């Protein structure tokens, strides 16, 4: 015999708590009338302007990120070339790489 609550009992308990707090929806969520200023409303001039501004900011951030990535790649190339050259020169001269021993 199980002493656990059934799903129905849990739902009824949650609904009772929500009703006591005044938060229980007595109808289906899709039947709630839309609120003014909803994202689903037809576009207004202010909304169109705000959307254009947000798109412009997004493009500016993307361009800045591309420039930063290009700078990082450039610095990595500058650093890796001397390291690779040093490794090639050491190997060409017959020198063994030194590994520090503690």
Q: What are the structure tokens assigned to 59, written together?
A: 């493009």
What's the per-residue H, E or C state across 67-88? HHHHHHHHHHHHHHHHHHHHHH
| Whole-number Cα distances in Å, 82 to 60, 89, 95, 99, 101 | 34, 10, 17, 19, 25
User: What pLDDT does residue 91 have?
Assistant: 54
Residue 101 lies in a domain: no
Residue 54 domain-assigned?
yes
pLDDT in tens, the chain (102 residues): 466 888 989 988 988 888 888 777 777 767 777 777 666 677 888 888 988 999 999 999 999 999 999 888 888 877 776 666 666 655 555 566 566 665
Q: What is the pTM of this model?
A: 0.40
69 belongs to a structural domain: yes
Query: 19 lies in a domain?
Result: no
User: Is 62 domain-assigned?
Assistant: yes
Tell me the residue range of the domain where 80 lies. 46-93
Number of domains observed in the structure of the chain: 1
């Amino acid at each position: 015999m199980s002493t656990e609550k059934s799903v129905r009992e849990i739902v009824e308990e949650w609904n009772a708590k929500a009703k006591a707090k005044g938060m229980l929806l007595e109808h289906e969520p899709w039947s709630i009338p839309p609120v003014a200023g909803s994202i689903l409303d037809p576009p207004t001039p202010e909304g169109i302007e705000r959307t254009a501004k947000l798109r412009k900011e997004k493009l500016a951030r993307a361009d800045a990120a591309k420039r930063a990535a290009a700078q990082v790649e450039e610095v990595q190339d500058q650093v890796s070339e001397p390291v690779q050259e040093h490794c090639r020169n050491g190997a060409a001269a017959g020198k063994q790489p030194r590994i520090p021993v503690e």
